[in-house]
Structure 1
């Protein structure tokens, strides 16, 4: 099982290695890591920390895309959950209640999306677009249209604290990815999700309760988005309903695709998506460290991502194998004709 997993994510690992090597050439100290007495610091550590929101969103997005769906509302759910967490902590509810309410808001948002998709039958891109456009208004109502700040150190720890020297957001997204991956592969859930994504009607005939499964998948996406929202809010010690999670749904989808997962549903890889999130954040950090003007950042990132996707394209791999077979056949023919 481990060998198959490594073989499947090998292109993503090679890509990540090449991106890290490129950034290291531009910024030689990129891989330098030191310990300041309380935590590990360095650009590479910062990449692991800053990857948390996209990685968390990517976990839930992978499951949704595996069912041949899409969730455009995860960035908005981040804003809602962050707003709920900040409102609750400033109201004196304490850390456990604040986190629980924020996660509950994410689960309710996922339940809403899941019901629209699985029960009402609305296309996923349209169903989640509804919450994407309306959700920031909900978050603004919670924060009363302002950046809601707080000073609670316990909540701030989730976004900027460290555990055994490792940034807590890094621990959180890695733990979430590992738990979800084990749950998917050690139980029948992963197989049921893949079956639903390949053919929902056929899986229903085989006894799979596709309706409940789809609702659960969108709720899982909402749960992961709520964790990302808590991390983002805790990091800046404030809830910014306008900018929290803005356009991160696109990075999450991109992480899934770079991770080798198909948008057509079916077989999926959580590990691949996590590597995709690291690739995206490494590119972001590399562009920042290289000193390019900010207006060029998105263009450079788009070009690099396009190159990565082209190099990972199955069609390109198939064409390369075809060319290699032609070359081998030509060489064999030449050898056979040589006296």
Structure 2
């Protein structure tokens, strides 16, 4: 009898632990973005048996999965910068224009410097990053210094940015013939695209800063309650300004990858509507658009989801313009799910159905 009681108690304890583990797993913010990505990839694998195949050829790894990750790299960089801004209750809808400015500045720099050695490459990278930082500083000053609403402040550069880029390029598409620069967007390291290492480095540095220093705590405090954070002594204005600068630098890095990948800089079309994709990636990753709660890993998953969705739409032969409609539906769905009123009504409906079944 004692053995039976002990066995039942042990079984009950194991079941309780499994239940707690399952609830913890279901409540994890990365579960649904990860599940969405897996379902997208699995669906492609079912309709196209060779979709998930990987090949090692000429010292490089090839396959659709590698292509998705490679093509999502610029969006992933911009999404990391956007995550930090949104976590602080901000928004930056000028990232597409900043990408175009940085790409044009880099192409112009290479075109006006002798293509000998690596000096033009470093000059182009430094010039592009400086341009992105200046754009971020401008946006941050309008938000922090002038007190403008973030969407209005960044709308100014969104409208004027492409005009600035076209002025630098003379209204022309700048073509590049410089192998070291092309390596940024087309090169491979250890068999993988170099762009993936750029994203990994930026993610690791940002994660380190947010996890191993007080910066992450400050960002959450400002996002939850800016006034309380200010009273507590948090330098909210400086941190917000720094977030916009970082967002500009992230967009500039994305511009380097985009322009080096196609060996040209198109001031009119580079990064067009990228701000929509970046905001959607952040939202899909589980970050609250109202600030406070954010996930860098979730934003990376969101960028991969968007690129996988785009690849799926093209693979099944749907017209490209439908891609924009699908993204709009996703934005609508995400905003509804993030609405406290909508979530409350959904929980009440599920509770009512459960009571009726009981």
Superposition TM-score, scaled by structure 2 size = 0.86
Give, in whole Å, the separation in 1 of the partners of 2:257 and 2:54: 23
Tell me which residue corresponds to 1:54: 75
Tell me which residue corresponds to 1:90: 111
Deviations 1:22-75 (A, max 9, x none): 222232222111011131111111000000111110000000000111001110
Deviations 1:196-254 (A, max 9, x none): 12221111110011111111000010010000000001001111000111110110000
Tell me which residue corresponds to 1:12: 33
Give, in whole Å, the separation in 1 of the partners of 2:309 and 2:55: 22
CA RMSD of aligned residues (A): 2.3
Give, in whole Å, the separation in 2 of the partners of 1:271 and 1:107: 23
1:197 to 1:177, Cα distance in 2 relative to 1, 3 A: same
Give structure 2 stretches of 5+ with no counterpart.
1-23, 114-118
Give, in whole Å, the separation in 2 of the partners of 1:307 and 1:204: 34
Give structure 1 stretches of 5+ with no counterpart.
333-339
Give, in whole Å, the separation in 1 of the partners of 2:66 and 2:340: 32
Counterpart selection for 2:286 from 255, 260, 278: 260
Give, in whole Å, the separation in 1 of the partners of 2:26 and 2:235: 28
Counterpart selection for 1:121 from 132, 137, 147: 147
Counterpart selection for 2:309 from 279, 283, 296: 283
Superposition TM-score, scaled by structure 1 size = 0.90
In the TM superposition, what is the alpha-carbon distance from 1:295 to its structure 2 partner?
3.5
Tell me which residue corresponds to 1:335: none
1:303 to 1:28, Cα distance in 2 relative to 1, 3 A: farther
Q: Secondary structure at the match of 1:40?
A: strand
Tell me which residue corresponds to 2:45: 24
Q: How does 1:1-339 map to 2 (within 5 A)?
A: 7-92=28-113, 94-303=120-329
- Larger Rg: 1 or 2? 2
Please identify, of 306-315 and 179-188, the stretch whose mean Cα deviation from structure 2 is larger.
Answer: 306-315
Q: Secondary structure at the match of 1:51?
A: helix
